[in-house]
């Protein structure tokens, strides 16, 4: 973990706001994931944080990638573009899944020459893929329980059990190769039973499809949702992994390739924000600090990711419950209303916020003329 002293030194050198990425932590999280899930090939979900240097670090340690747009694909392609074309095609075939169930036609057409692995969950998508990317290998996304997830996805994506078999054979009859099944239990999932139920459903569908005569499905994508340790309420990843391994070994044949799409788990703890207090006031009897970063920038996860970030001061002293505001003129720019911080902080003092690597700077803007935080690779 990057120390407070190092964070202060970086702020002195580069100014604020800063978004500091700890690449040793990235490598450690990736290693933890693959060690605890030995049957599972990790496809980093680029959307969690598409910073090119993060992608480069994970590429170098052997990660595969889940992309949801052509921009994310190109962020990964950058690191194989100088290879011979046959080698490029094979690497993409083996290491990239285009896991957005609803895809742009233009993206499908660009990727078709690579015989991409893509997800689908409805009839219209089958028609689109047939027209734009007939070389695709398709993966049916199932609708599974998202109970206990910080971000629920099942209302937007996924085919029910009753729909699944018909959709698979509709895709086969349309001339597509159905490679397997996928599911997503929701982001930052705390109900581990979601994974168990989803694996059981996938095993049942594999069995039903094979009984009906189709034997080309050899892949299971168990999605993302693996929880980052934001606080002590999050159970250890090793506990979840043990339960997943048990179900995979019990229900999923050894010849089926198993992949996953960890994003938050890989990158959340690798990011730290450093900001400066630019204002201080008492509003309705409550101490308020204003900083040079906010929800339109590094703290966008407050709005888009249902996430609550916390602050550490570099000074010590008597504390009280404070509100922390971002710098813009918008009343929405409230980072936290319940931060326990020293009451004697002054303009120019620094605050840090750890575990902010996922779904934060990825959605920052230049709203109100304030630039996003400077990204520092460490």
Q: Which residues are known catalytic residues? A: 329
Long-range contacts (CB closer than 8 Å, 24 or more residues apart) made by 73-76: 73/98, 73/107, 73/111, 75/46, 75/50, 76/46
Closest among 191, 89, 183, 189 to 144, alpha carbons compared: 183
The β-bridge partners of 187 are 151
Measured distance CA(49)–CA(55) in Å, rounded:
9
3-state secondary structure of 273: strand
Cis peptide before 17 (omega within 30 of 0): yes
- On whether the CB atoms of residues 17 and 292 are closer than 8 A, the answer is yes
- On whether the CB atoms of residues 277 and 351 are closer than 8 A, the answer is yes
- On whether the CB atoms of residues 367 and 328 are closer than 8 A, the answer is yes
Dmax over CA atoms of the chain, in Å, equals: 72
DSSP letters, 133-149, are -TT-EEEEEEP---TTE
Residues near 90 by beta carbon (within 8 Å), at least 6 away in sequence: none
Helices (H), ranges, the chain: 4-14, 23-36, 52-60, 70-77, 85-95, 105-111, 123-132, 161-173, 193-211, 237-251, 264-267, 301-304
The separation between the first and the last C-alpha atoms of the chain, rounded to the nearest angstrom, is 10
Count other C-beta atoms under 10 Å from residue 28's C-beta.
15
């Amino acid at each position: 973990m990057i120390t407070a002293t190092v964070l202060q030194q970086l702020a002195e050198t580069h100014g604020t706001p800063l978004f500091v990425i700890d690449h040793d932590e990235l490598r450690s999280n990736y290693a933890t994931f693959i060690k605890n899930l030995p049957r599972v090939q990790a496809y980093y979900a680029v959307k969690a944080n598409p910073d090119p240097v993060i992608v480069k670090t994970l590429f170098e340690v052997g990660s595969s990638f889940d992309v949801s747009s052509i921009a994310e694909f190109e962020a990964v392609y950058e690191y194989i573009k100088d290879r011979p074309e046959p080698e490029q095609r094979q690497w993409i075939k083996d290491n990239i899944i285009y896991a957005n169930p609803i895809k742009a036609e233009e993206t499908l057409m660009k990727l078709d020459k690579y015989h991409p692995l893509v997800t689908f969950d409805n009839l219209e998508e089958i028609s689109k893929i047939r027209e734009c990317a007939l070389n695709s290998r398709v993966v049916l996304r199932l609708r599974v329980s998202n109970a206990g997830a910080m971000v629920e996805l099942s209302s937007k994506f996924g085919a029910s059990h009753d729909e699944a078999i018909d959709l698979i054979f509709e895709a086969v009859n349309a001339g597509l190769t159905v490679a397997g099944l996928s599911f997503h239990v929701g982001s930052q999932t705390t109900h581990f039973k979601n994974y168990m139920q989803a694996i059981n459903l996938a095993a049942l569908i594999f069995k039903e499809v094979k009984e009906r005569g189709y034997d080309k499905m050899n892949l299971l994508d168990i999605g993302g949702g693996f929880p980052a340790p934001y606080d002590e309420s999050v159970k250890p990843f090793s506990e979840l992994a043990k339960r997943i391994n048990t179900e995979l070994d019990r229900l999923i044949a050894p010849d089926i390739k198993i992949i996953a799409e960890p994003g938050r788990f890989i990158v959340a703890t690798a990011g730290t924000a450093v900001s400066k207090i630019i204002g201080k006031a008492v509003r309705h009897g409550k101490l308020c600090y204003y900083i040079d970063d906010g929800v339109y920038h590094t703290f966008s996860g407050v709005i888009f990711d249902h996430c609550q970030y916390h602050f550490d001061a570099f000074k010590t002293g008597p504390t009280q419950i404070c509100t922390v505001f971002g710098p813009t003129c918008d009343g929405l720019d409230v980072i936290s209303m319940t931060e326990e911080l020293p009451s004697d902080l002054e303009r120019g003092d620094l605050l840090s916020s750890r575990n902010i690597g996922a779904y934060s700077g990825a959605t920052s803007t230049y709203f109100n003329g304030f630039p996003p935080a400077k990204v520092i690779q460490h």
